[in-house]
Amino acid sequence: MRKVYYFDEIDSTNEEAKRLLRERRGENLYGAVVSANRQTAGRGRLGRTFFSPGGDSVYVSFILKSQADPTEQRVTVFASVAVCLAIEKTTGFRPGIKWVNDVLMDGKKICGILAESIPNAVILGIGVNINLSKEDFPGDLRESAGSLCMDRDARARFFDVLNEEVFLCMAAAGADETNEGDSSAGYEAATLMSEYRKRSILTGKTVILIRGEDSLRVRALCEDVADDGALIVRYDDGSTEELRTSEISVRLTE
C-alpha cells in the first residue's frame, strides 16, 4: 500500500516531498504520493511558476527511487504519456503533447510536469487543471491555459488512474518506486515512445526555438522525436540538431 499525504493547501507538493525525505530519514518513502488541493508556490520548468488555484485540480508529487537522472528527457516524456493515458481512460478525450512535456487539449495547456533529482530519489510533480474557468487564471495565462471538466466521481477515478499510469510508465523510464519491482508489470519503453510520437503536436510544424540568456530566437522545422526524447529539428540552412537541453523553449509560429 502506497503512502498518500493529503494537504488542503501547501507551498509546493515537490517541496513537501523533499521535506518528508529529510525529516523521515530511515523510513522507506519510495512510492509515496504527496497531494494538495492548492499550491501557493507551484513550480514549473525553467524556473517558471505553475499557477495552482485549486478548483478540483490535481496537484501531486511522486517520490521515486532514482534509477535514472530525471534530466534525461525520457522521465518527463514518459510522465506526459502517463497523464495522457489517464485522461483518455477517464474521460475519453485524447490530449496532445508539446515537447517536452506540456499536455494540451484544444491547443490549451492543461498540465505541467516537473521532475527533480535529489540524492537517491526522483521527485516527479504533476499538476492538472480541472474545473477551472478562464476567469480563474491571471490575464497573461487566459489565452494559453485550459482545464478539464469532470464531476466529483470522475475526478476521483482520474486521480487513481493517474497514480497507476505514472508508476507503470516510470518503470520503463528507469525510475520506479522501489528499485525492486518487476519491470514486466509496466510498459515497454518503445511502446511509450510510440505513444508520445502519436501525440506530438510539433512534428511537421515550423517552430521558434528560444534559448540562452539573450533569448536568441531561431526558426526550425520539427521532424521527429528521438528514442531518448530529444526533439529532432531541421534549420533553414538544411542542418539538423537533436535538442536535449531543458534550457530551450519552443513556440509554434503563427
Q: Are 52 and 164 in a shared domain?
A: yes
Which pLDDT belongs to residue 209? 93
d(CA 158, CA 162): 6
d(CA 111, CA 81): 12
Of 42-46, 209-213, 230-234, the range with the highest mean pLDDT is 230-234
**Average predicted confidence (pLDDT) for the chain:** 87
Q: Are 215 and 164 in a shared domain?
A: no
27 pLDDT more than 70: yes
Q: Are 40 and 166 in a shared domain?
A: yes
Q: Can you say whether residue 121 is alpha, beta or left, with left for phi > 0 and alpha for psi between -120 and 50 degrees?
A: beta
Q: Are 136 and 225 in a shared domain?
A: no
pLDDT tens readout for residues 176-199: 654 444 444 679 999 999 999 999
Q: Of 184, 199, 214, which one is at a domain's C-terminal end?
A: 199
17 pLDDT more than 70: yes
The 8-class DSSP code of residue 44 comes to: -
- Burial bucket for residue 218 (CB in 10 Å: 0-12, 13-18, 19+): middle
Q: What's the mean pLDDT in 228-252?
A: 88
Q: Are 219 and 192 in a shared domain?
A: no
| Reported pTM | 0.89
Q: Are 110 and 211 in a shared domain?
A: no
- For residue 128, what is the enclosing H or E element? strand 121-128
Predicted confidence band of residue 44 (pLDDT cuts 50, 70, 90): low
47 pLDDT more than 60: no
39 pLDDT more than 90: no
Which pLDDT belongs to residue 175? 66
Q: What's the mean pLDDT in 42-50?
A: 63
Q: Of 171, 199, 227, which one is at a domain's C-terminal end?
A: 199
What is the residue range of 32's domain?
4-199
Three-state DSSP state, 113? strand
Predicted confidence band of residue 69 (pLDDT cuts 50, 70, 90): low
Q: Can you say whether residue 59 is alpha, beta or left, with left for phi > 0 and alpha for psi between -120 and 50 degrees?
A: beta
Domain count, the chain: 2
Three-state DSSP state, 194? helix
Check: CB of residue 81 under 8 Å from CB of residue 199. yes
Check: CB of residue 103 under 8 Å from CB of residue 95. yes
Check: CB of residue 123 under 8 Å from CB of residue 17. yes
Three-state DSSP state, 127? strand
The 8-class DSSP code of residue 230 comes to: P
Place of cell 510508465: 169
More confident residue, 26 or 239: 239
What's the CATH number where 242 sits? 2.30.30.100
Q: Of 154, 181, 199, which one is at a domain's C-terminal end?
A: 199
Q: Are 87 and 131 in a shared domain?
A: yes
Q: What's the mean pLDDT in 4-12?
A: 91
Which pLDDT belongs to residue 48? 65
What's the CATH number where 170 sits? 3.30.930.10
d(CA 210, CA 194): 27
Which pLDDT belongs to residue 117? 86
99 pLDDT more than 80: yes
Q: Are 83 and 130 in a shared domain?
A: yes
Please report, rounded to a whole number, the percentage of residues in the chain having pLDDT higher than 70.
86
Which pLDDT belongs to residue 118? 87
Q: What's the mean pLDDT in 153-162?
A: 95
Q: Are 145 and 217 in a shared domain?
A: no
Which pLDDT belongs to residue 29? 92
Q: Are 236 and 131 in a shared domain?
A: no
Q: Are 172 and 239 in a shared domain?
A: no
Q: List, in order, residues 6 or more apart from 101 with CB less than 8 Å away.
A: 45, 76, 77, 79, 80, 112, 113
Q: Are 60 and 180 in a shared domain?
A: yes
Check: CB of residue 232 under 8 Å from CB of residue 242. yes
Place of cell 534525461: 72
